[in-house]
Structures are given as structure tokens and as C-alpha cells.
Amino acid sequence: MFLIVTEAYVTLATNDEYCCGALVLADSLRKVGTTKKLVCMITTCVSDNMRTALEAFFDHIELVDVLDSSDSENLKLLARPDLGVTFTKLHCWRLTQYSKCVFMDADTLSFIVSMDNIFLVRLTSFSFTLHHFFLTPYQVLQNIDDLFEREELSAAPDPGWPDCFNSGVFVYTPSLDTYRALLDFALSEGSFDG
């Protein structure tokens, strides 16, 4: 029996606004030459027109139900009531047709950048702007497929909460068992930030 290894970048668009970010993310990943599949999970709040646009950029569109933490008290403390629906990300573990995935928030990046390139920029004045950085003659878009070499669960710590990780970008292995365990834990224990 042969094991087919299929890896994917996964994002989530819960509405048309997040679809715009997802489209930029997909376009950026394509432009840097990713060899991985691109998957966008969407909810019923995404319009038909936007879904059609997503289908042109992504290899697979997965319709998922909204999962809301309903923890308005803690979300109010963060002044981010919109984070309640971030529980919807848990559906990414259901994508078991892929052997390994990197989840990226739809608003994570508009450019995939290796900061190593900052050493290549020739500064001629202190009025240097980020916009100028992206217009230099150097290639700043980089392929980030090496993220797939990381172990599950790989993520960066949240700068404001040292005992938490930022779920904007993380490496994971899809698993229905993990999905059920995370969902059970989230429903029983809650989450301060969705």
C-alpha cells in the first residue's frame, strides 16, 4: 500500500471581508512557487460571488459550520468580539485528506517575506518606508514551504500572553481524533480569546 503525501496551506474565510485577505494570501503563495495545495474553509456567510473568486485561486474549498466560543465577557476584555468565531478554525483538523498542513489566518500576510532580505536593502536615507522595501530590485517574496518540515504542533508564542501560542500560523497534522478532543476541550474549558 502506498501512502500519498499531500500537504496543504489552509485558511479560513468566515465572511466576504476575510475572503479578500484569503485571495491575497493565495496569490502570494502561488507567486512564490509553492508546491503545496491551497485550501480555504468558508462559512455560509460567504457570498456566491466571493466563493467563485476563491475557487479560481484555491485547489479546494471546504464549507464549514461556524463555531463560536460565545465568551462575550472575555472577548470584551480584549475589545475583540469578532474573535468568538475563531473556534471555527478547529475544522482544519477535519481535513484528513491531507497528510500535513500549515494553517494561516486570511489576514496574516499580504506578502510572504523572508526577513533575511532586509540585509540586502541598500538604505540611502532614513526616510525609508516599508512600501519602498517591497519595491526594491531584490526578490523579497520567498517560498515558505519549509514550514512543512516542522513538527506538529508548531506555532509562535503570543507576544502578549507568554503561556499561549498565536493561532494565526501553525503547523498541524489533520486528525478526526484531535478535532474531537480539541472541540470537547474548547466546549468544556472555554477560551479567553475565542
DSSP letters spanning 129-151: -HHHHHTSSS--B---GGGGGSP
Q: Which domain holds residue 174?
A: 7-113+139-189
Count of structural domains within the chain: 1
pLDDT for the residue 26:
93
- Beta pairing, strands 100-104 & 7-13: parallel
Is residue 131 domain-resident? no
Give residue-wise pLDDT tens across range 88-128: 888 999 999 999 888 888 887 645 544 334 344 444 433 33
Is residue 61 domain-resident? yes
Is residue 76 domain-resident? yes
Is residue 128 domain-resident? no
CATH code of the domain in which 37 resides: 3.90.550.10
Is residue 172 domain-resident? yes
Q: Is the pLDDT of residue 16 over 90?
A: yes
Q: Is the pLDDT of residue 33 over 70?
A: yes
Is residue 75 domain-resident? yes
Give residue-wise pLDDT tens across range 147-177: 666 556 655 555 665 566 556 777 888 999 9
Is residue 39 domain-resident? yes
Q: How far is CA 154 from CA 101, 149, 183, in A?
A: 11, 10, 19
pTM of the full structure: 0.71
